[in-house]
């Protein structure tokens, strides 16, 4: 059994920015030499998330717009009552999408659908330096 963990540092712009993480995760699988197992992708923090999507500009835009409709930026959120807080919608979007994803590894490759990519989404209102943990377990 092999366990391998790396942390990727990613500069984000916020505002629902979507970053394709698929090749970074696949590279980690290759470097760890894992042929069968699981890849867990996790972003610490409460204003970002990890999910899958067909990483195509039109669909990414649709995804971003859907998040804006579900959790509008111009609503009053109770979180905004705390001093210096104005990103309640970012926290809700993060909770809705979730901070992690588990992908099977089969034959040394991430077992994703043909048009399925792993994305990091930053919901916050400003640019940030994000740490993304890639934890691999397998043989």
Token pair 């609503």 is at which residue? 75
pLDDT tier at 129 (50, 70, 90 boundaries)?
very high
Contact 103, 28 (CB under 8 A): no
* Mean pLDDT for the stretch of residues 80-86: 92
Give the tens place of pLDDT for each residue, 24-59: 999 999 999 999 999 999 999 999 999 999 999 999
Kindly report the number of other CB atoms within 10 A of residue 69's CB atom. 7
Token pair 């790396």 is at which residue? 6
Q: How far is CA 110 from the centre of its chain?
A: 16
Give the tens place of pLDDT for each residue, 104-117: 999 999 999 999 99
- Taking the domains of the chain in order of start, what are their residue ranges? 2-138
CA–CA–CA angle 39, 49, 92 (5° rounding): 145
Look up the CATH architecture of domain 2-138. Sandwich (2.60)
Strand partners, 118: 52
């Amino acid at each position: 059994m092999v366990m391998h963990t790396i942390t990727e540092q990613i500069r984000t712009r916020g505002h629902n920015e979507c970053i394709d993480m698929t090749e970074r995760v696949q590279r980690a699988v290759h470097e760890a030499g894992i042929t069968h197992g699981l890849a867990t992708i996790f972003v610490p923090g409460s204003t970002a998330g990890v999910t899958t999507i067909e990483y195509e500009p039109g669909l990414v835009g649709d995804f971003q717009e859907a998040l804006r409709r579900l959790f509008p930026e111009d609503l009053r959120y109770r979180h905004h009552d705390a001093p210096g807080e104005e990103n309640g919608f970012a926290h809700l979007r993060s909770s809705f999408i979730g901070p992690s994803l588990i992908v099977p590894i089969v034959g040394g490759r991430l077992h994703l659908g043909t048009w399925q990519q792993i994305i990091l989404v930053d919901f916050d209102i400003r640019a940030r330096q994000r740490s993304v943990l890639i934890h691999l377990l397998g043989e």
